[in-house]
Structure 1
Amino acid sequence: MLAPGNTIGILGGGQLGRMLAAAAARLGYKVHIYAPEADSVAAELSEAHTRASWDDASALRAFAEQCAVVTYEWENVPIAALKGLGDVALYPSIRALEVAQDRLNEKDFVTNLGGRAAPYMAVDTRDDLDRAMTLIGTPGILKTRREGYDGKGQWRINYDHEAEGISLGGQPMIYEGLVRFDCEFSVILARGQDGQTVFWDSAENVHQDGILAKSIVPASPLAQAQVAEARALAQQVAAGLSYVGVAAFEFFATDAGPVFNEMAPRVHNSGHWTIEGAATSQFENHIRAICGLPLGDTQLLAKGVEMHNLIGAEAADTATLTADPANHLHLYGKGEARPGRKMGHVTRLTQ
């Protein structure tokens, strides 16, 4: 068990790191942020900030030497950077990132455990793409195997001829058959160093232009009926990875049952509602898990909760956002409100 007063290192300097830093401070820990960017919103709430690139081996080692434990708020931290941290405790493990950073590895890992996913094939060449469209069919979605989020790095192909203008660019990709679904929902768990696992209520998620717009708890009856099966798979994945911390698993609710979409080895946007809506937030339980503390109660504190993301200019009208006392407003302290940029979120509880 890591005693209060120790320093937690966080790799990545965005809003997830900011909310983790706030949770760590409430539990008496200090936070040291490692991020390449100068304007880290996480560093604003942290004891220290190392600004250095991911390939700066000496900076990574010096950072790790000042931390009792290290975690990450961004799943695309290079594996080489993690290996350069030395002997400091790292949660979640490198293995979790090796699986989650590559969509093909992720799908293979989950389906080998018996999980249900959309039909998929690896695509490295144009011939591979033609073969995948023939065997799986269209419509489908072509995705980069690495990186890409909020709809980036994805191309929907409704008919074979629509693939003609897509350049693979020499990067490994994956083609997935389109899933017909009624709604999307997430399963978020926290797993401690002793294997103790807790779940929050599953949120139904609504996306716009590939970006999460809102999360609603409780989810629809159809999604709720599939949560138990989805949780069982999520728990298998976490155990198979010897996972420590919070992880999110996204599912499609279909007539055939829950279909796995993807996992995030970190705290997740669809769990932001837990700050006000649950007895213990996803951020606090992540800190508890990586520090070896008992996990907190995850019960819902209201009849229902809705979390709305504030995208781009939606965060500008703070007067309106704060006028309703039922709104729990979280602004991330970012500068320019670009289209598609997550600037904050609002949570509302219903009694």
Structure 2
Amino acid sequence: MTAAARPGKPVPPGGVVGILGGGQLGRMIALAAAPLGYRCAVLTPEEDSPASQVAWHTIVAPYDDAAALARLADLADVVTLEFENVPAQAVAALAARVPTAPDERVLAVTQDRLKEKTLAREAGLATVAFAAVGRGDLTAMRETVGFPAILKTRRMGYDGKGQRRVDTPEEAERACRDLGDSLIAEAVCPFEMELSVIAARSPGGEIRAFDAVENVHENHILRTTRAPARIAETVRAEAQAAACRLAGRLSLVGLLAVEFFWSPEAGLLVNEMAPRPHNSGHWTIEACRTSQFEQLVRAVCGLPLGDPARRHDATMTNLLGAEADDWAEPVADPDMHLHLYGKAEVREGRKMGHVTRLLPLGAHIADGNG
């Protein structure tokens, strides 16, 4: 920790924000921190990571490398993260030396799908029916969830990894053998729309939420985000309030992205949450007064939160694999904003960048298509 900051005090411009993770989210955090006068130090296992290309300093080492963690703590005034599945022990080791946001208490919940669902229920929010499944014991699953169901690993897994649909007890038994001993079973939920809201919370408890957005996934990977979602104002307000309530229950500092299922019949159901910037919030860079990335920097550094209000409607589209080669159209269109992440290896389905198209306020609601 530098002399510029002390525990419990705001980190002034000129300070250093440490980032666990070197992917595109870390890259965009660093890009947002620079105009506010902050430098970023990144700890990542990857050589030539997207974040390292724009960060002030990069430490290439595993997340559980004690010497690397100590070096990051020496450099940084506060440490945040770009993905939630870093080892909790690493965050705890950092927290003993430098403020971390979010801290290991938040990760203990958000790294475990069962604890996430339980937190939502305890906060008075609706979810699909769920049950813990341990060591292949399907008793609670049969009684609470039934079939069909989705079996998921409680920890790790993203973009559809670590989960399987099961329609019979026999399929569930096979899935348990493949997925492991610590699982959660969730009822299959017919839904009309997938929504998400990103809320920011400061150390002093100030909470601001971005607008609710509408997400479309293909093969379990986010394809497009439409901002704002085409939903009633009552549903929009309910989703924003739910995200703010969860951020408060966690006493989180930073960002909390909350994903929901919605249908007229079932209403709003909490699905998953992540204590970091979220793919469905990339549209905020151009379309909001304050982006999700700037808001994160403000929150973890103890600055007043920015105004999350929309200045435009927007559609964000992920560029997967070789689609990033088709950059000519977006760079020629003044209403399109291209972001390429600097990843050297192109793989099918890999997020290589995104494009945000700006539209006049109200355009999505007016045309119904986006």
Q: What TM-score, normalized by structure 1, do the two folds share? A: 0.95
Match of 2:157 in 1: 148
What is the rounded CA distance, in whole Å, between the counterparts of 1:135 and 1:250 in structure 2?
22
1:87 to 97, 117, 129: 97
Aligned-residue CA RMSD (Å): 1.5
- Give CA-to-partner distance per residue, 1:135-185, whole Å, 9 cap, x none: 422221110111100111110123444335422453411110011211011
Q: Aligned to 1:229, which of 238, 254, 261?
A: 238
- Partner residue of 2:54? 45
d(CA) in 1 for partners of 2:18, 2:338: 27
- State the 1:134 CA deviation: 5.3
Residue in structure 2 matched with residue 240 of structure 1 by the alignment? 249
**TM-score calculated relative to the size of structure 2:** 0.90
Within 5 A, what are the aligned runs for 1:244-323? 244-254=253-263, 255-302=265-312, 304-323=313-332
Q: Which one-letter code corresponds to 1:209 in the other structure?
A: N
Structure 2 segments unaligned to the other structure (5+ residues): 1-9, 361-370
Distance, in Å, in 2 between the alignment partners of 1:111 and 1:189 is 18
- Checking the alignment, whether the CA contact within 8 Å between 2:212 and 2:239 is kept in structure 1 is no
2:85 corresponds to 1:76: yes
Hey, what's the Cα distance between the residues in 2 that align with 1:3 and 1:45?
21
Q: Tell me, yes or no, if the aligned pair for 2:153 and 2:180 is still in contact at 8 Å.
A: no
1:342 to 344, 347, 351: 351
**Distance (whole Å) between structure 1 residues aligned to residue 215 and residue 241 of structure 2:** 20
Picking from 28, 31, 56, the partner of 2:37 is 28
- Mapping of 1:62-141 within 5 angstroms? 62-85=71-94, 86-128=96-138, 131-133=140-142, 135-141=144-150
Residues 1:2 and 2:11 aligned together? yes
Matches of 1:162 and 1:258, distance apart in 2: 29
Q: Which moved more, 1:233-242 or 1:28-37?
A: 233-242
Question: For 2:210 and 2:64, how far apart are their aligned partners in 1?
Answer: 36
Taking the aligned partners of 2:137 and 2:79, their CA distance within structure 1 comes to 43
Shift in Å at residue 335 of structure 1?
1.3
State whether residues 10 and 31 of structure 1, in contact with CA within 8 Å, keep that contact through their aligned partners in structure 2.
yes
Q: Is the 8 A contact 1:125 1:168 kept in 2?
A: no
- Identify the range of structure 1 (19-28 vs 333-342) with the bigger mean alpha-carbon deviation: 333-342
Structure 1 counterpart of 2:368: none
Task: Give me the whole-angstrom Cα distance separating, in 2, the residues matched to 1:165 and 1:89.
Answer: 44
Runs of 4+ in structure 1 off by over 4 angstroms are none
| Distance of 1:13 and 1:133 partners within structure 2 | 41
How many angstroms apart in 1 are the aligned matches of 2:45 and 2:231? 44
- Is 2:196 the partner of 1:186? yes
1:174 aligned to which of 184, 198, 209:
184
Q: Aligned partners of 2:55, 2:47: CA distance in 1, in Å?
A: 14
Q: Distance in 2 between matches of 1:12 and 1:52?
A: 10
Question: Among residues 321, 339, 342, which one is paired with 1:330 in the alignment?
Answer: 339
On the 8 A contact 2:21/2:81 being kept in 1, the answer is yes
Amino acid paired to 1:32: A
Confirm or deny: 8 A CA contact 1:141 1:178 kept in the other structure: yes
Q: What SS is found at the alignment partner of 1:84? A: helix
Residue of structure 2 in register with 1:157 after alignment: 166
Instruction: Report the CA distance between 1:81 and its aligned residue.
Output: 0.6
Name the amino acid aligned to 2:267.
Answer: G
1:144–1:169 distance in 2 versus 1, CA, 3 Å: closer
Please say if residues 212 and 240 of structure 2, whose CA atoms lie closer than 8 Å, have aligned partners that are also in contact. Answer: no
Counterpart-to-counterpart distance in 1, 2:353 and 2:187: 33
Q: What are the superposed Cα offsets for residues 233-268 of structure 1, whole Å, 9 maximum, x if unpaired?
A: 222221121111111000111223210001010010
Change (3 A) 1:346 1:82: same
- Structure 1 distance, partners of 2:309, 2:244, is 18
Letter in 2 for 1:42: A
Give the conservation status (yes or no) of the 8 Å contact 1:31–1:47: yes
Paired residues of 2:92 and 2:103 also in contact (CA < 8 A): no
Residues 100-152 of structure 1, C-alpha deviation per residue, up to 9 Å, x if partnerless? 00001111111111111111111122232x65145422221110111100111
Give the aligned partner of residue 5 of structure 2: none
Q: Is the 8 A contact 2:322 2:346 kept in 1?
A: yes
Equivalent pair of 2:295/2:305 in contact (CA under 8 Å) = yes
Q: Tell me, yes or no, if the aligned pair for 1:189 and 1:246 is still in contact at 8 Å.
A: yes
Amino acid at match of 1:2: V
